[in-house]
Amino acid sequence: MPGHIEQLAAGLTAAGHTFEIADLAAARATPPADILAEQARIDRADALVIAFPIYWWSLPALLKGWIDRVFVNGWAIDYGPDTPVVKKLRHLQVHLLALGAADHSAFDRHGYTQAMRTQIDYGIFDYCGAQVVTSALLLESESGGAQAHLQAAKVVGQGLFEDEAVAG
């Protein structure tokens, strides 16, 4: 049975249109050196700390692009059409600090607090097996909360490996 692309192409042809197919998935190759370097850096790390501004109620495109390029099948996870997902980043602790201008009530009222956790904490990092230890929304950044957010970031930094110091 033909796939969606083939059916779409057949419909276009039947209607007298021409088309070109750009199969982006077919262009897969060995990751470039910059991506291999990022993967190696994360492989050496005990924790990944990502501090980012909230753009359009989510990650900035630059950060999302980095995740899309670095956290790929074969490195962050292994899966195929007939195999279950193998989560390969179980060794990694993740700390997320998202900085936004809106207040907590706006995030909660529109469901963005839960949506961001679902999309980022679970949909990206948990899917790869990484443990999200910190997931903080530092909101109201443009209405005097900036100093409190800087202090919150410092507290996260100070406590990042606190459990290891106690155990060691």
pLDDT tens string 40-98? 999 999 899 999 999 999 999 999 999 999 999 999 999 988 899 999 999 999 999 99
The whole-number average pLDDT for the span 11-29 is: 81
pLDDT tier at 37 (50, 70, 90 boundaries)?
very high
Domains and CATH numbers, the chain: 31-160 (3.40.50.360)
As a whole number of angstroms, the distance between CA 149 and CA 138 comes to: 6
Tell me the chain's radius of gyration from C-alpha atoms. Answer: 21
Pairing outcome for strands 131-138 and 93-99: parallel
Q: For 133-144, write each residue's pLDDT tens digit.
A: 999 999 887 766
